[in-house]
Structure 1
Amino acid sequence: MWHPCHCRPWQGKRKLYVMAIGIALFFLVITLFSIAGRTADTRDSADWKPTNDGSRTT
């Protein structure tokens, strides 16, 4: 009979590292796109504020 305790201990840790790297890359991409100005304001009130060809005029 196969039990979870027979799994190699590094397999679970490897999945956690891959997930952590994936999440870090996701936030890095979001940050880079934000710095480059490639993000949009999707809040509900964004439709009612003035824009200049899609760019926010503050």
Structure 2
Amino acid sequence: MQRFAHDLRLLRQEGGGLTYRAMAREVAYSAVTLSRAASGKQLPSLEVALAYVQACGGDVGG
């Protein structure tokens, strides 16, 4: 769980360090939900994880 959260945070950093608010404008989830996805306290749902990746400009198709 911690490794997954770390990887999400790394993707965000590599994607330009967008704020969670900026990310939320790109997807159908709130900044709080996206922030929680990368907190490492619990695994996000698949839908939230994919939205996080999409908001960072990552490939969600593969």
Query: TM-score, normalization: structure 1?
Result: 0.29
Which has the larger Rg?
1
**Which protein, 1 or 2, shows the higher relative CO under an 8 Å CA cutoff with sep ≥ 6?**
2
Which structure has more strand as a fraction of its residues?
1
Return the TM-score normalized by structure 2. Answer: 0.27
